[in-house]
Chains A and B, each alone.
Chain A
């Protein structure tokens, strides 16, 4: 998968959507377009992404999968540290950079030694940094092959992909293989959540949207979001 090319398309989409204004829900003014994207994504996920992720879980030993998650998690920790700094959360950033140092030492992050040492894993990202500095989330977006996001969080993800270390790997084939493994790892880790959504949701589109927006609000406020209005 050409991650950067896809990222560019998504960037164009983000720009377009940021300019467009349509009546509707305040947090999802682009609902008709998003629902169309959701409908495009559903069969791709059902027939390609989900079965691949399930096969990965069924046939690849747990320790190998854990190692893969740890390697990508190590990169996440690096960006979590950067974003912790950008929000002035020095202690959290220190933990994240400490984790990267400990885990990268020797095994390229295959083993999460830092967790065993009790250094807590952070989860800061660029979207949260924007939120921290008061940038509104903007319209909700559903992007095929990517999932739920907002203009703010999507922009953050693009920065993350653009500057991620994988992008600097000169061998295109190897780079794309790593992006592919990363996508499968992400999808596999979400299998439990998506099968739960299938059982729980009356309308999966609405369910995913509310869950995503709640989750992001919670993360931006580090677990103490202001109470939602009760309506």
Chain B
């Protein structure tokens, strides 16, 4: 019995060892395509998501979307030249608060994607590239299609998104202005406080 369990355990370990690097190698466009397909499927079929169950929506985002983002790179880029002026503790707080803000923003927007279909454009990238843009197009009935591009970087744990560009509007660029303004007003700590207040405010409203 014990033997059989440990044998199975060993088999599982070997399987994981084989499968994990294979998953880490998943091409960036394949990763985005698979993830958005899976999330769309849940948005369309999960009755709790359809009913606007905040906790379930957050759970979907936390488990299905977030593992594919590089929040440190995202925060560093949004901070721009201010990033190196922040202490490691401030950087940690910034990453955490920015992540929370994006989860909340995505939570509110998720149900809007119900009626949409997503087309992916073939990606022409150098196989050795470590930074690519995955291009997709969201088609909505009766409206001009919207381009959604993902800035992706290759990490030890596979490809991760660090920017989302919706119809030409880069999330990182947009927040760079916002962060700059807050830092000008109250320094890095001022920005962290604003993010905390914002996250608390939105959470109490939801």
Given contacts A199-B108, A199-B202, A206-B181, contact A66 B168 (CB under 8 A): no
Per-residue B-contact encoding for A84-116, CB less than 8 Å = 1, 0 else: 000000000000000000000000000010010
Report if B147 contacts A (CB, 8 A).
Answer: yes
Task: Check if A70 sits within 8 Å of B142, measured CB to CB.
Answer: yes
Where the two chains meet, the residues of B that have a C-beta atom closer than 8 Å to any C-beta of A are 80-81, 101-102, 104-105, 108-109, 112, 141-145, 147, 167-170, 173-174, 177-179, 181-182, 194-195, 198, 202
Q: Is A230 an interface residue (CB 8 A)?
A: yes
Please tell me if A210 contacts chain B, counting CB pairs below 8 Å. Answer: yes
Give the CA-CA distance A225 to B173 in the complex, in Å.
14
* Inter-chain contacts of A195 with B (CB < 8 A): 108
Give complex CA distance A203, B174 in Å. Answer: 11
Please pick, from B80, B102, B109, B178, the residue contacting A202 in the complex, using a CB distance under 8 A.
B178
Most B CB within 10 A of own CB, among A115, A202, A214 = A202
Docked-complex contact B167 and A201, CB < 8 angstroms: no
With CB as the reference atom, state the residue of chain B lying closest to A192. B112
Tell me if A169 counts as interface (CB < 8 A to partner B): no
11 more contacts with CB within 8 A, not counting A115-B142, A202-B179, A210-B169, are A112-B142, A121-B144, A200-B105, A202-B181, A202-B195, A203-B181, A207-B174, A214-B170, A218-B168, A219-B168, A223-B168
Looking across the interface, which residue of chain A has its beta carbon closest to that of B104? A199
Let me know if A211 and B174 touch, CB within 8 A: yes
Q: A69 to nearest B CB, angstroms? A: 5
- The number of chain A residues touching the other chain, given as a range, is 20 to 34
Give CA–CA (A217, B173) in the complex, Å.
13
CB contact under 8 A between A207 and B178, given known A215-B169, A218-B168: yes
Interface residues of A (CB under 8 A from B): 66, 69-70, 73, 112, 115, 120-123, 189, 192, 195-196, 199-203, 206-207, 209-211, 214-215, 217-219, 223, 225, 228, 230-231
Please measure, in the bound complex, the distance between the C-alpha atom of A156 and the C-alpha atom of B142, giving whole angstroms.
24
Residues on B with C-beta less than 8 A from A122 are 144
- A-B pairs with CB below 8 Å: how many? 75
- Chain A's closest residue to B102 (CB) is A200
Q: Which residue of B lies closest to A25 (CB)?
A: B177
Assembled-state Cα–Cα distance A225/B169 (Å): 11
The reply to whether A196 and B167 contact each other, CB–CB distance below 8 Å, is: no
Task: Tell me how far the C-beta of A219 lies from the nearest C-beta in chain B, rounded to whole angstroms.
Answer: 7
Chain B residue numbers with a CB within 8 Å of A115 are 141-142
Cα(A112)–Cα(B144), bound, Å: 11
A219 (CB) vs chain B CBs: closest residue: B168
In the bound complex, residues from chain A placing their C-beta under 8 Å from that of B177 are 206-207, 209-210
User: Assuming the A-B contacts A66-B142, A122-B144, A206-B178, are A230 and B80 also in contact, with contact meaning beta carbons closer than 8 angstroms in the complex?
Assistant: yes
A69, B143: Cβ atoms under 8 Å? yes
Q: Write out the residue numbers on chain A whose beta carbons fall within 8 Å of the beta carbon of B202.
A: 199
